[in-house]
Structure 1
Amino acid sequence: MTEPNGESRVLATDAAIDLIREIRRDHPGILFHQSGGCCDGSSPMCYPAGDYIVGENDVKLGEIDGVPVYISASQYEVWKHTQLIIDVVPGRGGMFSLDNGREKRFLTRSRLFGGGEGCAVAAPASTGG
């Protein structure tokens, strides 16, 4: 999904792409779901695609390196004016996230879309699971 000015809703740093590719060697089909839980939404969870059921209220933000990125509709409402940037930092991933145990974890950073264009964008359709 892109904004009217052509910016993607979700991007990844080179470090995140490297970790995605490392994880895909063990789990070829993966997806991200942007957490809205204990970490104030800063931890994108990485799951095997077959182990996570995308809900009808989940919104697909886009793809990074061919991996789909979803967010719940309620989280989307909070973050709809921002571009999410998936990055990597030292540490442990979420308990059920595939980055756990690799001594580095995914982290979501964000930046506001410039010029208020996020305000003019209608909410995307949910995925329908």
Structure 2
Amino acid sequence: MSACLMIGAKAVMLASGVFTLSWTHSVERTGWAETYRIEDGRLHLTEARVMGSGAGMDPGPGATLQDDWWVWTPDLPPLPQLVLAASGATVSGWSICAGPWPGTDCEVVGAKKDEPIRVRPCSQRK
């Protein structure tokens, strides 16, 4: 099932309707990744993973250790969009990749100070 994802003003087609958002935590300097599925015009968080813990980034309930990453399925409602702050003061921007972890065809957003970046299904309005 393909889906369209808006990243700022850019539309990106996803063959599977799934994407992974990953970044380096600004305090702990370790990896964090979340996999989303686009369904019914909403973003469904299907998996989260963190490499380490601390500074508010502890693994969620039921997390298991897989290849140095704590992985779990968050129990959260679907979201209409994600808003990523682009402060320019963090270690790096966010990588948005097609498909489940680790994904392919990645694009880095928010590495420079700029307006917040909205990530939403194409069917959602601003």
TM exceeds 0.5? no
* More strand as a share of residues: 2
**TM-score, scaled relative to structure 1:** 0.27
